[in-house]
Structures are given as C-alpha cells and as structure tokens.
C-alpha cells in the first residue's frame, strides 16, 4: 500500500467543512478591511528565500525542500528551486516584479500550502497551510505608520473572535531597526563568548554567525543561559521606541489586549520594529497560531528600486482548526432531501425532480438514490447520508404529480405536489 509521505496528511470530510468555515469567515473579514487576494507560485528560486528569510534562519538552513532544476539544453544552466516555506518573500517579490508601488497602499491576503522539513508532531507538518496577510506600499502611502501595525493586530483579533477562538494571547515586541540590531548583536556576541561552549552545537554556530538566532533555540538545557542574555528592548533607538509606544497606545485605546515579551525575536531575519505572535493554550508545545511583524527593509533587500515598508502575519491554518471549539459535525452540511426512486424507469423521474429542486433553490442539498434499491435500502442510505427528508418517487407519485415526503427524524409524512416541493423542503431548515 502506498501511503501519504511523512509530515503530510489528507484533509477529509467532515473536517474539510471546518476548513471551509474558517476560509469563508476569513475572506469575509478581509473584505471588510479592504484586503484583496493574491496568489503566488508554490515554488520560487532558492535565492529568494536565502535573501528574504535569511541564510542563518532554521527555515533556510535546515528546513527547505530544495532541488536543482536542470536546464532544458546542455548549455542551459540549471536553477535551484525551493517549495515555499512561507509566503511573505514571494508576495514582496511579486510586488516588486509588477511594480505595484504605483498603486499606493496594497493590502493582500493569500491562503495556501507551505513546506518545511520539520520533525512532524501534533500541529507541525511538512506541508501545512497559511492564511497570510500583508500591507505594503511606499512610505508616502502610510505604510510605515504605527497605525498599520495596530490595524493588522486588530484585524487578527477580530478574525480569531469571528471563527470562535476566545482565549488567545497576543505577545508583542519591537525588534528595532538594523542599527539597533547591530548594537544588540554586538552585545549578544560579547555575552555569548564566555558561555557559548556550554550550549548546543547550533547555538555555538549562531553565536558567531547570527547571535540573534540563539533565541530560536528550543534545547531545554540552553534556556537558563538564554534567560541571562541582553534584551532587544534596551537597544531601541528613539524612532523605534516611539513607533512601538504608538502601536501599544492605539491597541490600548481600542481595547485589544496584549502582553509584552522582549524575548520574542521570531525565526525570520526580515523583521524590523513590531514583531508578534498569537498563542493558544489548547495547542500544547506548538502553541503559536500565528506570527508576524514589520519588515521595512525587505523590499530593498529583494531588489526593489523603491522603499516599500510592510507589515503582515501568517496564521497556521492547521493550528487554527485544531483550536476551534466548533466541531466538524456542526460545520458540515448534510442533505436536505434524499430522493428515492422506486422501481424500474424511476431514475429518470428522480433525476428530473433533483434538477428542478436544485434549480429552484440553490441552497438545497439534494442527494439522489437509485431505482435498483428496495425501499428499505433507500431509507438506510438516507439515514447514512444524514438526510432530513426522504422523497419517494414511484409510479403512482409520478402519475399523481405529488410525492411522499417523509421527515426522517419525526417520521411525519405528507404528500406534496411537485410545484410546492422545494418550498416545503426548505421550510424547516
Ligand atoms: P512563521 O512564524 O514562520 O511566520 O509562521 C506563521 C505560522 O505558521 C506559525 O505561527 C504557525 O502557526 C504556522 N506554522 C509554521 N510552521 C508550521 C508547521 N511546520 N506546521 C504547521 N504550522 C506551521 C511566517 O511564515 C511569516 N511569513 C509571517 C509573516 C507574514 N510575517 C510577516 N508577514
């Protein structure tokens, strides 16, 4: 038997009904905030992520699915390609490629699969799904303003409320500008010098190449050492401090709760200033439902001729679905009516009725049986499908042009003329 590859999984009904509920809800919310959908390819040049996300990040250093795409001819050079581990770099690439700065402020969202070669466990997969949102544009359009940060965070809070997730927690930090970061990195490097030898191999490497990434370390023995390291909050310059204060001020005034966490540096190199995560208790070890932040220099790092500050987030949709209280059974739509053709020649009559019903009311869910089924079997099939009504289509009914409609839960049965069927079935929904 051939099975799904480790770390990937099939999403099956009824669970897919929950996924659809989530996606329908977030699309509604995005519409209300004037966000528009963007779709970028699921693979890109490896260089995009190396430059965008950062060579020293766990994502780029260890987790990407990368392959060499051979050239079409002997003389053609091959190209290194990678399944996207995240969507921000791709969206910023598209923004630059299509010169979207002319459009002022852009508000994008995107829903789709991402790929990271991580050790699979509950809430962590090698193919997972993100709901991503980005606000990006020239500074003159207001892209740099703390109002955008607050808008993004308030949007997330609304989104989580709307899908029914109540007990989320917003952890907020400012990771400063490249200047602050250079000083912070220097301080970290110094602080790490005497202790790095006691840390894991990854941290020993990070201590030299990119000390900030030491904060990504998950090794329990290293945590007491990491606790003693300097914090970014002490290195913010005036501009960054003001920006952060303003973001917090707006959040307080609109009533979006948050906690400050100055150890939160996020696992991607492009972040500047605001960085955040929303966590949820039900998730266990993989407790971040979503993460995001500002990335004011990313567009330039990817070759944009114009500055394009931005801020965004990505929800781990798998984790969002795991923390829902709504059940798949509640979300799934079962048939309103099961049409049971009874006896030879009745498939045609049943098909005609099904077509009429579906056309007269697009919201009706109509399931169709088969004339070879005995009545008992039709009832069993209707039960199994969890239909609300069964509609009997036999020779007598066709002659009378009125049909036996039985409500399966109550057992109540009525004869309904063809013309009234759709309205009758829709009545008690
Ligand atoms: P990230 O924190 O790497 O950020 O991922 C965002 C979310 O994706 C995580 O909080 C988590 O819920 C989910 N996630 C990540 N890896 C996995 C996995 N292996 N299995 C299941 N879920 C996972 C980013 O990707 C940034 N691009 C977010 C962003 C957008 N920043 C600015 N704009």
Top mutation candidate among 115, 294, 298, 316 for ligand 1, by most atoms within 8 Å of CB = 316
> Cα of 266 to ligand 1 centre, how many Å?
10
- Give the residue, by CA position, lying nearest to ligand 1 atom 25: 86
Q: Rounded distance, CA 370 to CA 403, Å?
A: 16
> Cα of 292 to ligand 1 centre, how many Å?
8
CB 246 within 8 A of CB 238: no
Which residues have a Cβ under 8 Å from the Cβ of 192 and sit 6 or more positions away?
Answer: 199, 203, 207, 211, 214, 229
**Exposed, middle or buried: residue 213 (CB in 10 Å: 0-12, 13-18, 19+)?**
buried
- Give the residue, by CA position, lying nearest to ligand 1 atom 31: 292
Nearest to 111, CA basis, from 91, 138, 126, 135? 91
Q: Rounded distance, CA 79 to CA 48, Å?
A: 12
Q: How do strand 337-341 and strand 36-37 relate by DSSP bridges?
A: unpaired
Top mutation candidate among 132, 266, 291 for ligand 1, by most atoms within 8 Å of CB = 291
Evaluate: CB of 49 within 6 angstroms of ligand 1: no
Nearest to 118, CA basis, from 109, 110, 127? 127
> Cα of 314 to ligand 1 centre, how many Å?
5
Q: Strand order in 259-260's β-sheet?
A: 36-37, 106-115, 127-136, 310-316, 288-294, 272-280, 168-174, 259-260
> Cα of 54 to ligand 1 centre, how many Å?
15
Evaluate: CB of 216 within 6 angstroms of ligand 1: no
Evaluate: CB of 297 within 6 angstroms of ligand 1: no
Structure tokens at 22: 């989530």
> Cα of 56 to ligand 1 centre, how many Å?
17
Structure tokens at 413: 């049965």
pTM for this entry: 0.94
**Exposed, middle or buried: residue 28 (CB in 10 Å: 0-12, 13-18, 19+)?**
exposed
Q: Rounded distance, CA 300 to CA 251, Å?
A: 29
Top mutation candidate among 57, 63, 86 for ligand 1, by most atoms within 8 Å of CB = 86
- Give the residue, by CA position, lying nearest to ligand 1 atom 2: 291
Evaluate: CB of 22 within 6 angstroms of ligand 1: no
> Cα of 316 to ligand 1 centre, how many Å?
6
Determine the atom of ligand 1 nearest the C-alpha atom of 89. Answer: 27
**Exposed, middle or buried: residue 424 (CB in 10 Å: 0-12, 13-18, 19+)?**
middle
Evaluate: CB of 291 within 6 angstroms of ligand 1: yes
CB 255 within 8 A of CB 267: no
Evaluate: CB of 117 within 6 angstroms of ligand 1: no
> Cα of 315 to ligand 1 centre, how many Å?
6
Determine the atom of ligand 1 nearest the C-alpha atom of 86. Answer: 25
Determine the atom of ligand 1 nearest the C-alpha atom of 277. Answer: 10
From its phi and psi, is residue 295 left (phi > 0), alpha (psi between -120 and 50) or beta? beta
Residues in the chain where the model's pLDDT stays below 50: none
For 313, half-sphere exposure in the C-beta direction (CA atoms, 13 angstrom radius) is 27
Top mutation candidate among 115, 130, 131, 151 for ligand 1, by most atoms within 8 Å of CB = 130
Top mutation candidate among 22, 314, 324 for ligand 1, by most atoms within 8 Å of CB = 314
Whose structure tokens read 């840390």? 199
């Amino acid at each position: 038997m051939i099975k799904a590859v480790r770390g990937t999984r099939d999403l099956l009904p009824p669970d897919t009904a929950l996924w659809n509920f989530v996606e329908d809800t977030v699309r509604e919310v995005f519409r209300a905030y004037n966000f528009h959908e963007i779709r970028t390819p699921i693979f890109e040049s490896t260089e995009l992520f190396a430059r965008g996300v950062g060579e020293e990040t766990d994502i780029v250093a260890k987790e990407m699915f990368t392959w060499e795409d051979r050239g079409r001819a002997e003389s053609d050079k091959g190209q290194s390609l990678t399944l996207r581990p995240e969507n921000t770099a791709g969206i910023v690439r598209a923004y630059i490629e299509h010169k979207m700065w002319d459009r002022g402020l852009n508000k994008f969202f995107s829903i789709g699969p991402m790929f990271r070669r991580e050790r699979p466990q509950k809430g962590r997969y090698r193919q997972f799904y993100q709901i991503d949102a980005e606000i990006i544009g020239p500074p003159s359009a207001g892209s740099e303003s703390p109002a955008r940060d607050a808008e993004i965070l308030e949007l997330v809070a609304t989104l989580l409320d709307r899908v029914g997730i109540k007990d989320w927690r917003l952890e907020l930090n400012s990771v400063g500008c490249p200047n602050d970061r250079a000083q912070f990195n220097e301080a970290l490097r110094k602080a790490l010098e005497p202790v790095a030898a006691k840390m894991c191999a990854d941290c020993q490497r990070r201590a030299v190449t990119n000390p900030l990434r030491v904060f990504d370390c998950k090794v329990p023995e290293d945590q007491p050492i990491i606790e003693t390291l300097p914090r970014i909050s002490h290195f913010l310059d005036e501009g960054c401090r003001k920006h952060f204060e303003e973001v917090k001020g707006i959040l307080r005034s609109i009533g979006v709760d948050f906690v400050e966490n100055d150890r939160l540096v996020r696992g991607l190199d492009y972040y500047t200033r605001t960085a955040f995560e929303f966590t949820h208790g039900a998730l266990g070890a993989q407790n971040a439902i979503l993460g995001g932040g500002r990335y004011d220099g990313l567009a330039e790092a990817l070759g944009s001729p114009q500055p394009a500050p931005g801020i965004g987030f990505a929800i781990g949709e798998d984790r969002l679905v795991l923390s829902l209280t709504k059940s798949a059974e509640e979300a799934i739509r079962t048939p309103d009516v099961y049409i049971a053709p009874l006896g030879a020649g009745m498939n045609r009559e049943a098909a005609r009725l099904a077509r009429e019903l579906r056309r007269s009311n697009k919201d009706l869910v109509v399931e169709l049986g088969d004339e070879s089924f005995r009545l008992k079997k039709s009832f069993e099939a209707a039960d199994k499908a969890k239909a609300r009504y069964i509609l009997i289509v036999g020779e007598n009914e066709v002659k009378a042009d009125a049909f036996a409609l039985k409500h399966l839960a109550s057992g109540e049965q009525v004869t309904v003329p063809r013309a009234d069927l759709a309205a009758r079935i829709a009545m008690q929904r």
